[in-house]
Amino acid sequence: MTETGFAATELLTVPEIAAYYKLKNSTIYAWVHKKRIPYVKLGGRLVRIRRVDAEAFIASQIVLAEK
């Protein structure tokens, strides 16, 4: 879909994000708690992360090799 369509706002659970990036759920929850990654709270309790936010966060963590 387009950037303004459903795919751009797809909300994923913490376990889905953790599984995709092969991380522990606790790592994602720690990032949420420390407000290192943008997230959405639904119903005051459920945490969801937009796919585009997760991808942007991971991309911002890339360390380039020195020549």
The full 3-state SS of the chain, as one line of letters, equals CCCCCHHHHCEEEHHHHHHHHCCCHHHHHHHHHCCCCCCEEECCCEEEEEHHHHHHHHHHCCCCCCC
> For 11-63, how does the pLDDT look when each residue is reduced to its tens digit (9 = 90+)?
999 999 999 999 999 999 999 999 999 999 999 889 999 999 999 999 999 99
pLDDT confidence of residue 8: 59
Residue type, 34: K
pTM higher than 0.85: no
CA distances from 28 to 38, 45, 52, 66 (A): 11, 15, 15, 29
pLDDT confidence of residue 4: 54
